Amino acid sequence: MPWLGFFNKIHMCDIFVLMDCVQYPRRQVVNRNRIKTPQGWTWLTVPVSLNKKISIPIREVLVDNSQDWGATTWKSIVHNYKKAGNFDRYSGFIEDMFHRRWDHLAEVNEHFIRFIVSEFDIETKLVRESDLEGVAGTGSERLVSICKAVGSDEYLSGDGSAGYLEPQLFEENGIGLSYQGFEHPRYRQMWGGFLPNMSIVDLILNEGEKSVEYVR
């Protein structure tokens, strides 16, 4: 359940590629994100089963259903947001999501991402990397390859990626390179002072239909 900047980037694009073929990064936000509580922030986590594999693509990561993580996550959201102004608006979808059985982490993520994109009337086309042909390489080479596969003439990068991208490689392949420039907005939150970089769940439960204005 990504943060606001993730959906801002989707909004800025014509095509957004869900990179499900890259190596799963451990202890990052692919399987967890933060919500706000009276004590500060806490993680919501989808437990995964990696079978001791060192390297595994995101699309192959299995959800660890030996734990009743869905019920636990739903209870955490209810406990911290049941008094939020827009809880009733979104509680049905969120409860259903966490009471389904999911086999693959990528399925959980894509289900939620597509819901938000639809809810916000974002017209960006979402494409799975695994559905593309001819994608190869790593790093900037892979990004250039993806751009070619979808017929793109410009790549929109997150602001934190400038340190490892190779601008010359994009230029040599006739692909523009630009950066998102996201400035985190302040919105209504429960539980004291404002905390940025929460899951977008925090935004939608507090701001409801106004949420799209903050993302845009």
> What pLDDT tens digit does each residue of the chain (216 aa) get?
999 999 999 999 999 999 999 999 988 999 999 999 999 999 999 999 987 767 899 999 999 999 999 999 999 999 999 999 999 999 999 999 999 999 999 999 999 999 999 999 999 999 999 999 999 999 999 999 999 999 999 999 998 887 889 999 999 999 999 999 999 999 999 999 999 999 999 999 999 999 999 999
CA distance 146 to 164: 17
Domain contains 163: no
Whether residue 132 contacts residue 143, with contact meaning beta carbons closer than 8 Å, is answered with no
Domain that holds residue 36: 4-136+184-215
Domain contains 67: yes
Return the pLDDT at 51.
Answer: 74
Return the pLDDT at 201.
Answer: 98
Domain contains 53: yes
Count of structural domains within the chain: 1
Domain contains 78: yes
Domain contains 95: yes
Whether residue 50 contacts residue 56, with contact meaning beta carbons closer than 8 Å, is answered with yes
Domain contains 21: yes
CA distance 100 to 94: 10
Looking at the chain, which runs of residues are DSSP E strands?
A: 15-18, 32-37, 40-45, 48-49, 62-63, 125-128, 154-157, 176-179
Domain contains 132: yes
Q: Of 124, 118, 122, 125, whose CA–CA distance to 216 is shortest?
A: 122
Return the pLDDT at 130.
Answer: 97
> Is the pTM higher than 0.75?
yes
Domain contains 72: yes
